């Protein structure tokens, strides 16, 4: 089960975004924020090189984008849950597909035929 509240709290506690990543010197690639740039994290190697392993560049890009990607995902999940909740709150007979009336309103009906029951089942996984 996903704990959206805890994820949201961690996002809000982290340094504000946006975060950017770039190679800061010959042996370090970093994630920064703000102007002037302040460091969030760095990957430092002993070898002086202008080429870092692809996985390092990808990981640093992931970290930088996570600052905005996570809040965006949370917002989308909340938006979709709100819409599912609206559907779940409707009486079964109001939104049953194609006028289907086989729903017994207990959530045990053939859920693909009853949008409110389907939405209630979907929201149970919260
Ligand atoms: Zn139903």
Ordered by start, the domain boundaries in the chain are 1-79, 89-126
C-alpha of residue 80 to centroid of ligand 1, in Å: 19
C-alpha of residue 126 to centroid of ligand 1, in Å: 19
C-alpha of residue 16 to centroid of ligand 1, in Å: 44
Judge contact between 22 and 42, C-beta under 8 A: no
Whether pTM exceeds 0.95: no
Residue that wins the pLDDT comparison between 124 and 70: 70
C-alpha of residue 81 to centroid of ligand 1, in Å: 18
Helix boundaries (H) for the chain: 4-13, 54-88, 92-95, 115-124
Q: For residue range 19-64, list pLDDT tens digits in order.
A: 999 877 788 899 999 999 999 999 988 776 667 888 988 999 999 9
C-alpha of residue 73 to centroid of ligand 1, in Å: 29
Confidence of residue 69 (pLDDT cuts 50, 70, 90): very high
C-alpha of residue 45 to centroid of ligand 1, in Å: 59
């Amino acid at each position: 089960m996903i704990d959206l509240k805890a994820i949201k709290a961690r996002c809000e506690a982290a340094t504000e975004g946006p975060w950017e990543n770039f190679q800061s010197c010959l042996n370090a690639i970093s994630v920064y924020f703000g102007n002037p740039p302040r460091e969030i994290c760095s990957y430092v190697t002993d070898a002086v090189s202008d080429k870092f392993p692809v996985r390092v560049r990808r990981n640093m890009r992931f970290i930088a984008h996570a600052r905005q990607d996570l809040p965006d995902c949370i917002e989308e999940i909340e938006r979709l849950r709100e819409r599912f909740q609206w559907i779940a709150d409707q009486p079964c007979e109001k939104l049953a597909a194609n006028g289907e009336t086989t729903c017994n309103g207990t959530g045990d009906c053939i859920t693909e035929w009853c949008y409110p029951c389907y939405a209630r089942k979907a929201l149970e996984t919260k």
